[in-house]
A and B are shown apart, each in its own frame.
Chain A
Amino acid sequence: MLSKKLEKILPLVQKPGRYTGGELNSVVKDKNSVAIRYAFCFPDTYEIGMSHLGMKILYSLANARDDTWCERVFAPWVDMENLMRRKGIPLYALESGDPICEFDLIGFTLQYELSYSNVLNMLDLAGLPIKAADRTSLTPIVIGGGPCVCNAEPVAEFFDLFLPGEGEEISGEVIDLLKEHKMKGSSKAEFLLAASKIKGVYVPSLYEVLHKADGTIDSVTPLQNAPEKVQKSLVKDLNGMFAPDSFVVPFLEIVHDRVTVEIFRGCIRGCRFCQAGFLYRPVREKSADTVNLQCKALCENTGYDEVSLCSLSTSDYTEINRLLTGLLDWTVEDKVNISLPSLRADNFPEELMAKLAEVRRSGLTFAPEAGTQRLRDAINKNVTEEEVLSTVRKAYEGGWTAVKLYFMTGLPTETMEDIDAIAELAQKTVDEYYKNPDKPKGKGVSVSVSAASFVPKPFTPFQWEAQDTVELLEEKQDYLKNAVKTRKVSVGRHNAKTSFLEGVFARGDRRLSKVIETAVRKGCRFDGWDDQFRFDLWQEAFRECGLSPEFYANRKRSFDEILPWDHMDYLVSKAFLINENKKAHKPVTTPNCREKCSGCGAGALCGGVCDAAD
């Protein structure tokens, strides 16, 4: 189904398999027999986008409808984009090869702030005006979903509507409404007004934002009876929720090339830096039986030989042992491996370790996040050094010889002492290995320390905090590198400038739209890729637009400032977040949701009780 023009350029690009479609389980329908054509766009490469579970779920869900054909679109890599522009090939969808400008619905998933430039570039490559106001016909409607939608203000001008929260149920309502208005021959304005009446739909053009002279927000006024606050959507029952029984199986090797099944949503922990921990509240579990059946069906339909259980903090799953027992019943026979990507250092039972040892052994990763107990208390990472070391000890006894430790630098209240402590903790982790009398002969230990730069995010207790400057973050990275004295420990660096820009957009406002547009015109794209990131061009764009990125990243806000995302409601109350912020500065910890409910407000949608409060 590839056009002749495309056939001519494919031999000239890297990994042509990214652009051909035709993978196993991809859905092809007759375009004349559907009412809605839906282009699901992931603003990054094929390998990244195809690894994303949310896309797999929403793709299968939309295609389960007879009236809709949902197709996949990824950002073409630079070499392909250049050739497409030169040969006049517009951005097309993989299943049909048709240009997406002809589609009814174009959905972007916004997973990462630094993919914003790709969104604009993809709209442009599709031949569409990038600004929503300049796309005057009813279709295509451009919608956005994903975690960044909790503050989508920096890209508000480019989208027609956003779906904050979980998309499973609400996206179907939007498709229904669009179908109805398409048949009626409505104008775009009529459709958007009707959409704004659906609970959980945010139409940014129906909100007027005014700024004060100092750049902060003066007021946000809903127009035409749009709701004062847009509440996120939520799936109440994960067992009854749609779950795909097959995945598109790519030919190329992608980042997460395996069956992935979600075991629960939300997190009981309340780590104060973690946006996901607050955005996805409350905790809702899927039953072990449901997970087991879904894993089995997916393996059957894809031929994958690895299953990954997906959630925040996997070891908090109440049925973890029952689930692993159930999985081992058939995975051993079928030669399928199980991986658990997100484990905590404080509740890693020996039983679980033994079960994991039965399946294939990969590296173990733990995230103490901070070096000192004081800072771990401040960020509410309720893990003690003894817990980290005892877990590592168990891992060594179980035969592991490589451990990854995740830390953050630039956390609020951090000092150089806290950085020293990261190096010390890494050293203790190494020492623990040599204390083990049964350690494998002739085998050393390798501890890799990854120190990411902290980025304050909306809807966390740290949403008011100043981010460390690029200079300070780089100084801390150098300091850590020098503090590590052994070759058994390797330290991974993150680009501080990338984290800085991420911080700008995470808490940005609508004025940033013109900066993003300017930067894209200058050639910025794939900003999350170090080899493509052009910080100089971004700086130019900020200067030309007369805006200071430091205003967004490095400024501490007061509790009474109107924040750009205040008209979004993610259930967690501001009073709770303020209280958590104050506790961080003391520092005082907050118990996890299962120990004691802290009244964050997230249980409201589930009738006041969430799983965690039981």
Chain B
Amino acid sequence: MRPIRVWFSKTGNAKYISHLDLNRAMTRAVRRAHIPLWYTEGFNPHPYITFALPLSLGQESAAEPMDIRIESDMENIEIKKRLSSVMPEGIEITGVSEPESGASEICYAEYEIILEFADSGEAANFAMRAAELVSRNGLAAQKPGKQGRQKVLKQVELKDYIAGFNAVNKNENVLLTAVLSAGSTKNLNPALLLETLYSATAVSAGAEKITRKRLLKADFEPFR
């Protein structure tokens, strides 16, 4: 049994595939690919597939890792070829590698966000105010959470979750690049950051395209 890490991009309509649905779609895809899958040994054997960090519905990604296990020593290049031929529209295999670090080492994710505003004035205004808000000392947000069994809105300080932020406007668009905390212990969904910025600036984008570019470790080195 050999663990391998498959890298794929998820763009276009594929962004509407939820995490749960992606799991199922990938299970079927690896079955179609005729690679020597390793199956779990329980009463109901199934291929071992895990995703390091779920991607929110509606967001795209340039490089998502999926860990699978195979039985024999088929070459990575052959695995990549076989997987590439069975992927649904919008999912493309970008690489197959040996896992270098475990999912728990993921600390940050880098996002590229393109926002479309009503006009260039609004875009310029938003880009300026957003940069200001993030460089200030505090940026409070309301995050839905739980207190015991009750659903409550929790106050969170977003500054603790933002490791990098940049905003530039061009015509009616704003391009944001953000490095945000990511992982199982500390995580910021870029959608929450946007929501907070919209309510603080009182302008919101008519359309947004959020792309996760890469995952980073604590030392900001890429997760591989």
Contacts and interface: CB of A to CB of B under 8 A. Distances in A.
Contact of A22 (B22, B45, B88, B206): B88
A2 B207 CA distance: 14
Interface string B134-170: 0000000000000000000000000000000000000
Contacts of A8: 206-207
A11 B29 CA distance: 26
A301 B32 contact: yes
Contacts of A251: 16-18, 21-22, 24-25, 88
Contacts of B32: 300-303
B49 to A, nearest CB: 12
A176 interface: no
Interface in A299-313: 300-305
Contact of B90 (A7, A22, A252, A302): A22
B39 interface: yes
B90 A304 contact: no
- Chain B interface size, as a band, is 20 to 34
Given A17-B18, A24-B88, A303 B58 contact: no
Question: Which of A4, A16, A300: most chain B Cβ within 10 A?
Answer: A16
Contacts of B27: 303, 305
Interface residues of A, number: 26
B190 to A, nearest CB: 13
Contacts of B46: 305, 335
Contacts of A364: none
Contacts, number: 67
Interface in A244-272: 249, 251-253
Given A20-B13, A21-B13, A335-B45, A304 B21 contact: no
Nearest to A303: B28
B16 A303 contact: no
B45 A2 contact: no
A360 interface: yes
Nearest to B17: A251
Contacts of B18: 17, 251
B57 interface: yes
A202 to B, nearest CB: 39
A16 B58 contact: yes
B86 interface: yes
B31 A305 contact: yes
B13 A2 contact: yes
Interface in A1-34: 1-2, 4, 7-8, 10-11, 16-17, 20-24
B119 interface: no
Contacts of A23: 88-89
B14 interface: yes
Interface of B: 12-14, 16-18, 20-22, 24-25, 27-32, 39, 44-46, 57-58, 86, 88-90, 206-207
Given A22-B12, A302-B32, 10 more contacts: A10-B58, A20-B13, A22-B88, A24-B28, A24-B89, A249-B28, A251-B17, A252-B21, A253-B21, A300-B32
24 contacts: A2-B13, A7-B207, A8-B206, A8-B207, A10-B16, A16-B57, A20-B13, A21-B13, A22-B12, A22-B14, A22-B88, A251-B18, A251-B24, A253-B20, A253-B24, A302-B28, A302-B32, A303-B27, A303-B28, A303-B29, A303-B31, A305-B46, A335-B39, A335-B46
